[in-house]
Amino acid sequence: MKKQAIIGSLLLLALTACGGGGTTDNADGPLPETDKVVIGVTGGAWEENIISAGIKGFEEETGIEVDVVAGTDAEWFSKLRASNGNNPAYDVLVLQPDTITRAAATGLLQPLTEENVPNLADLYPSVQEKLQYEGETYAAGFSMGQLGIAYRKDLVDKAPESWKDLQDPAYAGHVAVSSPSYAAGLQFFSGWVNAFGGEESDQASIDKAFEELGKLSSNVVAYPDNAGSIQTLLERGDAWLVPFWDGRTFALQEAGLDLGFVYPEEGPVAAVASWVVTKGAPNEANAYKLVDYLSSPDVQKAFSDLTYYGMTNQNVEYSDSIADKVQVGEEFYRELKWVDYETASPNVADWTNRWTQVMGGGQ
């Protein structure tokens, strides 16, 4: 043990001298042994739920201290770029697909394999395919949010079935939609483009989508830019129908709000949260252990019980109250609409400006 510790210390010094803390510069050598790991997660209820579902258990089982830091994709990506793979502030992050692609493309993430994260073998293939860049897997899918339509059952005579139903005059003055500058708004716009037979990479499809948004604008009463605002609109009955995530809606149902939720017939839009390991992570060995632990069926089930989301591990056994509501499994996941982030990311600002003009200045 003493000899191993000395070798580990020498290796750590060598890596530090090279400006990196992980395996990038020494792929065949043992990883440095450390006693902690730093993870960046979404704040609020999400942070509380992941600590309860997985972080506490990981600390108890391994003895490894987990430093949980709340933040956002934009903040993390900025810090990763500043570190340039040299001892970043985080070992593990939960990221959205567009940030994963940007971070992988700029060499800021460590590839994940079944050797360093064995539970990757049990994650749904259709999800993991979306988390690859140039043939390497850079993330482990975790919670599978799906954007559909939440609606007030007590205020809507007929449940919507399609994204296009938001244009129904029966809902005039009672629809809320978010702009593309907010995650749910961008996912809705992607689903909206798809509903009219188009795709984001086709300019004619984008123009058609904005033309149809113009027909929807007279129905819109609010333009929420966060989940809390959407919840308030639904609770007060200010909005009857809102594009929203399934898990968030089901949680409000459990809290007593008389909501319905529909997966639109054109297909809901994926909103997956995934784990990544940063390049040069100071606690890289522990980072892989943590990502593997969080990818296990037991942890994923515990998180699903708290959030009402479907998950990515094929071996999760869902509670009856969730299994009866959530569309889970390869059959559904493979049919999900995914935002074309390669096209969308550089166009979000332009789309948001056009969206504001079409919606009469509302944001």
3-state DSSP of 328-347: CCHHHHCCCECCCHHHHHHH
The rounded distance, in Å, linking the Cα atoms of 230 and 227 is 5
Count other Cβ atoms within 10 Å, centred on residue 288: 23
209 and 352 both lie in a single domain: yes
pLDDT at 95 exceeding the cut of 70: yes
164 and 51 both lie in a single domain: no
CA 224, chain centre distance (Å): 19
Q: pLDDT, tens digit, for every residue of 307-359?
A: 999 999 999 999 998 999 999 999 999 999 999 998 998 999 999 999 999 98
The rounded distance, in Å, linking the Cα atoms of 285 and 91 is 9
Query: At a CB cut-off of 8 Å and minimum separation 6, what does 363 contact?
Result: 179, 181, 223, 225, 356
pLDDT at 106 exceeding the cut of 50: yes
- What is residue 28's predicted lDDT score, i.e. its pLDDT? 62
47 and 181 both lie in a single domain: no
- Output the domain CATH number for residue 70: 3.40.190.10
CB 124 within 8 A of CB 312: yes
The structure tokens listed for 242 are 């809102």
pLDDT at 31 exceeding the cut of 90: no
Look at residue 261 and tell me if it is in a domain: yes
211 and 354 both lie in a single domain: yes
Task: Tell me phi and psi for residue 338, to 5 degrees.
Answer: -110, 140
Q: Which domain holds residue 136?
A: 36-144+271-335
pLDDT band at 16 (very low <50, low <70, confident <90, very high): very low
Helix (H) or strand (E) holding 246: helix 246-254
258 and 175 both lie in a single domain: yes
Q: pLDDT, tens digit, for every residue of 168-203?
A: 999 999 999 999 999 999 999 999 999 999 999 999
The rounded distance, in Å, linking the Cα atoms of 72 and 68 is 13
Q: pLDDT, tens digit, for every residue of 232-268?
A: 999 999 999 999 999 999 999 999 999 999 999 999 9
Look at residue 197 and tell me if it is in a domain: yes
The rounded distance, in Å, linking the Cα atoms of 253 and 277 is 35
Q: Among residues 246, 235, 214, 229, which one has the least CA distance to residue 310?
A: 246
Rounded to two decimals, the pTM is 0.86
Burial 195-222 (b: 16+ CB within 10 A, else e): beebebeeeebbebbbebbeebeebbbb
Q: What are the Cα distances from residue 49, in Å, to 40, 136, 181, 292, 314?
A: 14, 30, 26, 18, 21
The rounded distance, in Å, linking the Cα atoms of 243 and 266 is 14
Burial 116-128 (b: 16+ CB within 10 A, else e): bbebbebbbebbb
pLDDT at 15 exceeding the cut of 60: no
pLDDT band at 123 (very low <50, low <70, confident <90, very high): very high
pLDDT band at 360 (very low <50, low <70, confident <90, very high): confident
The rounded distance, in Å, linking the Cα atoms of 234 and 260 is 11
Average pLDDT score, the chain:
91
Q: Please give the tally of structural domains in the chain.
A: 2
